[in-house]
Chains A and B, each alone.
Chain A
C-alpha cells in the first residue's frame, strides 16, 4: 500500500498528558499537511510543510502544538498538556506540485484522539 499512513489510529489519553502522532506521506510527495476534524465539521487546516520546511501555521495551532518533518519524509504532530477540547480526528495529507501551485491532496485515515 503506497497511500498516506497514520499512526496510531486511535489514542486515548488523560488530560495533561503529551501525545505524538506520526504521518508517513506518499514517498514522492514533497508537501504535507495536518488538519483537525471534529464531529460535524470539515477539516480545519493546522500546518503545512514543503519538504522539511514548515511554511504555514494556522492560528488554531496553539503553543501546545508542534509539528516536525525533520528529513522531509514522515512528520510528527505533538500535543503537550492535552485538554479535552483537543479531542478530534487529526488528519494528514500529502501532495506534489501538479501542473500548477495546487496539487491533489491524498489523505490518510486519521488518528482519533480522545482526551479524558
Chain B
C-alpha cells in the first residue's frame, strides 16, 4: 500500500537557521502531496501542497517541490523562527482520495 517516510526528529535549530525536513513516498500512480503542521493542542493545518510533478508548493516562507524521479517532497525554509516550532507531517492523497500521513517530525527552534 501507499506509505510516507519522514526524517526522524526531533530537529533542533537556532533561530534564522536553514531547515530541511526530508519526505519520501511510495504510491501507485501520481498522488497529490501535502505538508501539514500541528501546533501543541491543536489539529493539523495545511501548510502547502503540490498536485503534479515539478510543482512547487509554498507558504509562510516554507516550500517543497514534487520530485517524481526521486519520489520526494522535502520541506525547506531559509530562516526559521521560534514560532515555527511544531510537528510537521508529510502526506499524500491517493486515487482513492484517502490521505496517508507520515509519522511526523518535531521541530524545536531556539532563540
A, B: real partners: no
